[in-house]
Chains A and B, each alone.
Chain A
Amino acid sequence: MKRIISAKNAPAAAGPYSHAVEAGGILFVSGQVALDPATGKLINGGIREQTEQVLRNIGAILEAAGYSYGDVVKSTVLLSDIEDFKTMNEIYSKFFPTEQPARVAYAVKDLPLGALIEIEVIAVKSK
C-alpha cells in the first residue's frame, strides 16, 4: 500500500524522511530545499537559482516515482522572505505553465540549512 520513493537524481534527504511516499494513488513529495544532488549542499545563488534547483529536485523525484510536473495537484511554497514572492512566481510558472496546481505560499521564520525556499508537492497521476 505504501511505496517509498528514492530518487537517484535528487539530493539525499537532510533528515529522516523519504524523497516521496506513494499511497492510495497519491504521491506525497517531501519538502525540498535547493540542495545540489552532487554535493548534498545548498547551492550558491539567490531566490532565482534556489527556486529553479528546488523545482528540478522535485522533478527528479516525480520522475523516479513515474509522475511528471503535470500530475502535481497541490503545492506548498515556503519562503524565508515574502519579498521573494514575485521572483518565485516567475520561475515557478516556467515549471507549471498551464493547469497550475492548487497552492499555498507564505513566509516562515527559518528554513532548514538556511534555505531561502522550500517546496513540497502532492501529485495524482492524470488518466
Chain B
Amino acid sequence: MSKLFVLLIVSVMFFWSCNTGSEKQKVTESRVITFENTPASRPYSPAVEAGNMLFVSGQIALDLSTGKLIEGGFEEQARQTLSNLKTVIEKAGYKLEDVVRCTVLLTDINNYATMNRIYMEFFPSDPPARMAFAVRDLPMGALIEIDAIAVKK
C-alpha cells in the first residue's frame, strides 16, 4: 500500500515537472535594450522587449551625450524627453507610431497644455492611449518624465 502511495506521489511529481517544463517553453523571449553610455549606476534598462511588445523606461530630458539634464525650461525639456523616447524606441527597432500607451508625469499641472502641444509634434495622428498627471518630484529635478509601451506591427 505504501509502495503504491510512493508511486502515486512520484508520478504526480513527474507529470507536474513535465507541465512546468512545457510552460517554461511557452514563456516569451525577452530582450534588454541597452546603450553604450547607459550609466551603470541606474538599475534599469532603457527598454525591455518581450515578444512583440516593448516597455520603455521613463525618460527625462537628459542630454544623451553627457547624461545630464539639459538647460532650459519646460518646452525644451518636453521636446528633449520625447526625443529621447524616440531614440530608445528606434534603437530597439520600433517606431513612434508603434507606441500604444504613454504615461506623462509633470511636476506642475499648469504645464499640461504646453505638454499637449509639444506631444502632438511627436504623435500627430492616431495618438497612443495616455495617462497624465502631476507628481511631487521627479528624478534629477526634471520637469517631465514619459514612459511608453509599444507593440510592433
> B-contacting residues of A (Cβ < 8 Å)?
1-2, 4, 15-24, 26, 28-31, 76, 78, 108-112, 118, 120
Within 8 A of A (CB), among B89-122: 97-98, 100-102, 107-109, 112, 116, 119-120
The contact sample of 15 A-B pairs, CB cut-off 8 A, is A15-B130, A16-B123, A16-B130, A18-B129, A19-B129, A21-B101, A21-B128, A23-B100, A29-B129, A108-B136, A109-B135, A110-B133, A110-B134, A111-B133, A112-B112
As a 0/1 sequence over residues 115 to 153 of chain B, the CB contacts with chain A under 8 angstroms (1 = contact) are 010011001001111111111100000000000010111
* Distance in Å: Cβ of B121 to nearest Cβ of chain A: 10
Closest to A29 in B: B129
Known A1-B151, A19-B129, A78-B133; further 16 A-B contacts with Cβ < 8 A: A2-B151, A15-B130, A18-B128, A18-B129, A20-B129, A21-B100, A23-B151, A24-B52, A26-B151, A28-B129, A28-B149, A76-B131, A109-B109, A109-B133, A109-B135, A111-B109
Whether the Cβ atoms of A16 and B151 lie closer than 8 Å is no
* Distance in Å: Cβ of B109 to nearest Cβ of chain A: 4
Whether the Cβ atoms of B109 and A1 lie closer than 8 Å is no
> A-contacting residues of B (Cβ < 8 Å)?
51-53, 97-98, 100-102, 107-109, 112, 116, 119-120, 123, 126-136, 149, 151-153
Closest to B132 in A: A112
Whether the Cβ atoms of A30 and B100 lie closer than 8 Å is no
* Distance in Å: Cβ of A77 to nearest Cβ of chain B: 11
CB contacts (< 8 Å) of A109 on chain B: these are: 107, 109, 133-136
Whether the Cβ atoms of B132 and A15 lie closer than 8 Å is yes
